[in-house]
Amino acid sequence: MPIARRRTDVLPAGSVRAGKRGEMITEQGFAGTTAHNSGGGGTASAGLRIRLGGGLLHRHGDVTDRRHCGRAPQDTVRSLTAQGVATRPPRTSTTHEGKITMTMRLEGTVALVTGASSGIGAATARSLAAEGAAVALLARRRDRLEELAGAIRADGGTAIVVDADITDRQQAEEAVERAVSELGRLDTVVNNAGLMHIGPVVDALSVDWDQMLQINVQGLLYVTRAALPLLLRAAHDSPRGVADVVNISSTAGRVARPGTAVYNLTKFGVNGFTEALRQEVMQKRVRVSVVEPGTVDTELSSHIRDGLRQAVEAQVKDLELLRPEDIADAVSYIVTRDRRVAVNEILVRAAEQTW
């Protein structure tokens, strides 16, 4: 989504233009949408046309020209902030050539993403890297991780590969250590690696249960335990003054259904653990959050056994599935908030999904 991905990216003045009624329009993801607000509340995002109470807040014919602007960008943000609207420091600044540079919100931070070799984890790693975080990519398939790291670096980001099996406590701990020794610190952990086997409890294969418990629960615990002291330190000494754990649960962490009993058990467990840990470390400014995806188009169902997989595919065949990037957006939203804001839980269903 982001057009200006690196801090050094410069949008030509022409990519920010004045709308008919004087709104600022940038050529970004939300271009074409308009945020109207008569009461002064609401959020101003890059690429939205921004009007408050019908009054002009921001005009951008030439961003350096105050005759056209009414207010310069940073004045505008201060004004929005004063009205309780903008919750972030300015993301843009104006160069003497009248161009706009984008500042990334996670610059200087380090994120570890488990299960980064595919699906939601890969999309999340890219999204965090686009916000300026250096990312440690953790999973078992090294070739996939190398490919993703290459793509992130090609976009100007920083990524390292940490291949490990997090069901092995020692490997999980060493993976966290490697991330920190190579990248210097740890501000964000996304516990995403997971597995779903389904089927009735009667006649279930206990090896399927064991695997789910080992990855969805124990792996998450091992990584979190190893990372927490580092996150507490980051929250204490970083300029942002906050660190994050984001656990990827599921709608199955909120709604139990026949055929997914043990997957439900693991994801309800993740939700419970998340909430308890949140309360333990919140005073130290480590935020602990949970994201609960609905049905996402990933490799997750490829691990389901033949016969059962077809049943799942039939259930979702008419559904427009979520994309991994939809979940990555939720994670990015959580970890880019100001330290005073804790978004504890986000449930993201496919629009037509009932469960």
Which residues does the annotation mark as catalytic? Answer: 263
Find the binder of ligand NDP among 42, 132, 157, 194 (CB under 6 A).
194
DSSP string, 248-297: E--GGGT---TT-HHHHHHHHHHHHHHHHHHHHHGGGTEEEEEEEE-SBS
Alpha carbon distances (Å) from 206 to 202, 262, 301: 10, 10, 18
Q: Which of 140, 185, 337, 349 binds ligand NDP (CB under 6 A)?
A: 140
Query: Which of 284/349 has CB closer to ligand NDP?
Result: 349
Q: Measured from the CB of residue 124, what is the shortest distance to ligand NDP in angstroms?
A: 9
Residues 235-254 that bind ligand NDP (CB under 6 A): 248, 250
Question: Does 195 engage in binding with ligand NDP (CB under 6 A)?
Answer: yes
Site stretch for ligand NDP (CB under 6 A), options 11-19, 31-39, 97-105, 297-305:
297-305
The residue among 150, 147, 144, 157 whose CA lies nearest residue 118 is 144
Choices 47-55, 89-97, 148-156, 194-202 (CB under 6 A): range interacting with ligand NDP: 194-202
Q: Are 139 and 190 in contact (CB under 8 A)?
A: no
Order of strands, edge to edge, in the sheet holding 34-35? 34-35, 49-52, 55-56
Q: Does 199 bind ligand NDP (CB under 6 A)?
A: no
| Contact call for residue 153 and ligand NDP (CB under 6 A) | no
Span interacting with ligand NDP, options 20-28, 96-104, 192-200, 225-233, rule CB under 6 A: 192-200
- Beta carbon of residue 128, minimum distance to ligand NDP (angstroms, whole number): 15
DSSP assignment of 126-144, as one string? Answer: HHHHHTT-EEEEEES-HHH
Count of other CB atoms within 10 angstroms of residue 66: 12
HEC sequence for 157-206:
CCEEEEECCCCCHHHHHHHHHHHHHHHCCCCEEEECCCCCCCCCCCCCCH
Which of 157, 219 has the CB closer to ligand NDP?
219
Long-range contacts of 10-13 (CB under 8 A, 24+ apart): 10/95, 10/99, 10/100, 10/101, 11/99, 11/100, 11/101, 11/102, 12/99, 13/62, 13/63, 13/98, 13/99, 13/100
Minimum distance, C-beta of residue 203 to ligand NDP, in the bound complex (Å):
23
44-52, 81-89, 138-146, 221-229 -> range binding ligand NDP (CB under 6 A): 138-146
Contact between 42 and ligand NDP by CB under 6 A: the answer reads: no
**Structure tokens that stand for 25 in this block:** 């329009």
Nearer to ligand NDP, 133 or 175 (CB): 175
**Site membership for ligand NDP, residue 284 (CB under 6 A):** no
Smaller CB distance to ligand NDP: residue 23 or 329? 329
Q: Which of residues 95-114 bind ligand NDP (CB under 6 A)?
A: 114
Residues that bind ligand NDP (CB under 6 A): 114-121, 139-141, 144, 165-167, 192-196, 215, 219, 248, 250, 293, 295-296, 298-300
